[in-house]
């Protein structure tokens, strides 16, 4: 099923993001999680890709395994900075061959320790979207990333919207946002997008907080603001993982409830390959979710 088509029909989308594990134990854990979350009948699941190309084979293997062994729709993430255009085409041909129809087209983070990074094929996600459209027509439904608080490299929100619009107009069907914890950032971002005639569905990315130290690091890297009131609550229980998770889950439930009352097109959960927090959040909000 093409994700763009599903969203066009107005069907509420629930999706889960996984990363390709490095070890057999990690893979067992991932597939237990896939089984547990499968019960929620997700619209699709997605598998991340290492920006440097390091997960090329692992991402492909996990995508293929989920696709073959479950009835789930899988979206493969693909970053372009470390690959030549020929390599990208080869990867995409491989996905087409096994029936994968959805790609999240990304640039990837530029390595911080390399001063004059050499882009092999595409310099921005927009060029990857163009490549997919030029070489594969409408075979793939293409998603792109969006940043309600602005991408860390964007000097301001005008810049953010300008280049977001370019990659959307290059042929993206939908977008998934970076994690955010203040819904107002998302609402303001949507307003800016609508004013700029960006009309594709923009699915909020929801990160359940289960580990405060880890989330602080992620938030810093991607420029997401953790509200001070939440920081204080989490700091008070930092050494008690179960308490942290409880607060994180309660926060995400409230966040999703508010998003639902404002008519979002779906939710994309960053699962970190674990099911517990996501299951709890989903169960708490499922009666508010429009019929799927
Ligand atoms: P782009 O859209 O290319 O934008 C990057 C920056 O360049 C922005 O500041 C933009 O404003 C600016 N820009 C764009 N075009 C131009 C131009 N022509 N001139 C000047 N500036 C321009 N990373 C991974 O490595 N693997 C993953 O699997 C992965 N999955 C992700 C999933 C989601 C939902 C999100 C939100 C992010 C994900 N990322 C992933 C992170 C992403 O790769 C990084 O945020 C990366 O730095 C930017 O990627 P992009 O596709 O948004 O880039």
Ligand 1 within 6 A of 119 CB?
A: no
Instruction: Please report how many Cα atoms fall inside a 13 Å half-sphere around the Cα of residue 238, on the Cβ side.
Output: 10
Residue 249: its pLDDT value, please? Answer: 98
Q: Tell which one of 108, 119, 196 to mutate to probe ligand 1, the residue whose CB is within 8 A of the most ligand atoms.
A: 108
What is the spatial distance between Cα 236 and Cα 244, in angstroms, rounded to a whole number?
Answer: 9
Ligand 1 within 6 A of 123 CB?
A: no
Segment 216-240 mean pLDDT: 96
Report the atom number in ligand 1 closest to the C-alpha of 205: 34
- Convert the pLDDT of each residue in 8-39 to its tens digit: 999 999 999 999 999 999 999 999 999 999 99
Alpha carbon of 21 to ligand 1 centroid (Å): 22
> Which protein residue's CA is at the shortest distance from atom 6 of ligand 1?
153
Ligand 1 within 6 A of 51 CB?
A: yes
Residue 176 has phi, psi (to 5 degrees) of: -120, 135
Instruction: Please report how many Cα atoms fall inside a 13 Å half-sphere around the Cα of residue 30, on the Cβ side.
Output: 24
Closest by Cα among 193, 144, 131, 153 to 172: 144
User: Cα 17 from chain centroid?
Assistant: 6
Residue 230: its pLDDT value, please? Answer: 97
Q: Tell which one of 121, 163, 196 to mutate to probe ligand 1, the residue whose CB is within 8 A of the most ligand atoms.
A: 163
Ligand 1 within 6 A of 56 CB?
A: no
Ligand 1 within 6 A of 109 CB?
A: yes
Question: What pLDDT band is residue 146 in, cutting at 50, 70 and 90?
Answer: very high
Ligand 1 within 6 A of 145 CB?
A: yes
Segment 113-129 mean pLDDT: 87
- Scanning the chain, the segments in alpha helix (DSSP H) are 3-8, 24-38, 56-69, 85-98, 125-136, 157-169, 183-195, 212-222, 228-236, 241-261, 276-285
Residues across the chain:
292
| 238 catalytic residue (yes or no) | no
- Convert the pLDDT of each residue in 241-254 to its tens digit: 999 999 999 999 99
Closest by Cα among 179, 183, 182 to 210: 179
Ligand 1 within 6 A of 159 CB?
A: yes
Ligand 1 within 6 A of 78 CB?
A: no
**Over the Cα atoms of the chain, what is R_g?**
18
- Convert the pLDDT of each residue in 54-90 to its tens digit: 899 999 999 999 999 999 999 999 999 989 999 999 9
> Which protein residue's CA is at the shortest distance from atom 13 of ligand 1?
163
What is the number of domains present in the chain?
Answer: 1
pLDDT at 120 over 90: no
Average pLDDT, the chain: 96
Alpha carbon of 152 to ligand 1 centroid (Å): 9
- Convert the pLDDT of each residue in 179-212 to its tens digit: 999 999 999 999 999 999 999 999 999 999 999 9
Residue 156: its pLDDT value, please? Answer: 98
Residue 117: its pLDDT value, please? Answer: 80
Alpha carbon of 124 to ligand 1 centroid (Å): 7
Residue 119: its pLDDT value, please? Answer: 78
Alpha carbon of 159 to ligand 1 centroid (Å): 13
Per DSSP, what are the bridge partners of residue 222?
none
User: Cα 108 from chain centroid?
Assistant: 13
Report the atom number in ligand 1 closest to the C-alpha of 108: 43
Question: Any idea what the CATH number is for the domain that residue 250 is in?
Answer: 3.20.20.220
Structural domain boundaries enclosing 119? 3-288
Residue 51: its pLDDT value, please? Answer: 85
Write down the pTM of the prediction. Answer: 0.97
Residue 114: its pLDDT value, please? Answer: 75
- Convert the pLDDT of each residue in 94-119 to its tens digit: 999 999 999 999 999 988 877 778 77
């Amino acid at each position: 099923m093409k994700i763009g088509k599903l969203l066009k029909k107005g069907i509420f989308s629930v999706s889960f993001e996984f990363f390709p594990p490095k070890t057999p134990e990690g893979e067992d854990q991932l597939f237990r999680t896939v089984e547990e979350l499968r019960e929620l009948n997700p619209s699709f699941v997605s598998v991340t890709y290492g920006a440097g190309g390091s997960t090329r084979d692992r991402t492909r293997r996990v995508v293929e395994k989920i696709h073959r062994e479950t009835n789930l729709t899988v979206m493969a993430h693909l970053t372009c900075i470390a690959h030549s255009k020929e390599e990208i085409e080869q990867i995409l041909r491989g996905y087409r061959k096994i029936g994968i129809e959805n790609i999240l087209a990304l640039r990837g983070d530029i390595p911080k320790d390399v001063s004059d990074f050499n882009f092999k094929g595409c310099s921005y996600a927009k060029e990857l979207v163009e490549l997919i459209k030029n070489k594969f027509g409408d075979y793939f439904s293409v998603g792109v990333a969006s940043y309600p608080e602005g991408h860390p490299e964007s000097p301001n929100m005008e810049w953010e919207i300008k280049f977001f619009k370019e990659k959307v107009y290059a042929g993206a069907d939908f977008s998934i946002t970076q994690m955010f914890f203040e819904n107002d950032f998302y609402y303001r971002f949507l307003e800016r997008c609508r004013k700029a005639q960006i009309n594709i569905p923009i699915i909020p990315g929801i990160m359940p907080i289960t580990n405060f130290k880890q989330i602080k690091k992620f938030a810093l890297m991607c420029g997401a603001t953790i509200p001070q009131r939440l920081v204080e609550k989490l700091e008070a229980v930092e050494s008690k993982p179960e308490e942290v998770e409880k607060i994180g889950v309660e926060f995400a439930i409230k966040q999703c409830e508010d998003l639902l009352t404002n008519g979002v097109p779906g939710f994309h959960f960053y699962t970190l390959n674990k099911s517990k927090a996501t299951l709890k959040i989903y169960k708490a909000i499922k009666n508010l979710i429009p019929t799927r």
